[in-house]
């Protein structure tokens, strides 16, 4: 389970991608969004100050977690996760 708290004022989102690509190397499309290939779950429109939870049954492997509102991935809203 992911416990998610948005400490910012604006809305963000969480998308979980199963990917062997490094967290900062996902391809970017023409709409300034990262590729969502391998997406296994998401939590959208997390309002400023909101707390939410996301329950996923993840298989072992490498994942990248991103906020994919246009431009946010490029600003650093991404992190790698390895499930063993
Ligand atoms: Cu964001």
User: Number of structural domains, the chain?
Assistant: 1
**CA 30 – ligand 1 centroid, Å:** 18
**CA 19 – ligand 1 centroid, Å:** 20
**CA 13 – ligand 1 centroid, Å:** 6
How far apart CA 13 and CA 41 sit, in angstroms, is 11
Kindly report the CATH number assigned to the domain that includes residue 35: 2.60.40.420
Indicate the pTM of the whole model: 0.96
**pLDDT value at position 71?**
97
**pLDDT value at position 32?**
96
Domain span holding position 28: 2-83
* Mean pLDDT, each 10-residue run in order, the chain (84 residues): 97 98 97 98 98 98 98 98 98
CB atoms within 10 A of CB 65: 19
């Amino acid at each position: 389970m992911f416990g998610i708290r948005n400490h910012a004022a604006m809305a963000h989102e969480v998308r979980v991608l199963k990917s062997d690509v490094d967290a900062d190397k996902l391809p970017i499309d023409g709409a300034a969004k990262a590729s969502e290939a391998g997406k296994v779950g998401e939590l959208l429109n997390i309002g400023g100050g909101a707390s939410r939870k996301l329950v996923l049954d993840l298989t072992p492997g490498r994942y990248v977690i991103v906020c994919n509102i246009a431009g946010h991935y490029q600003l650093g809203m991404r992190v790698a996760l390895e499930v063993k």
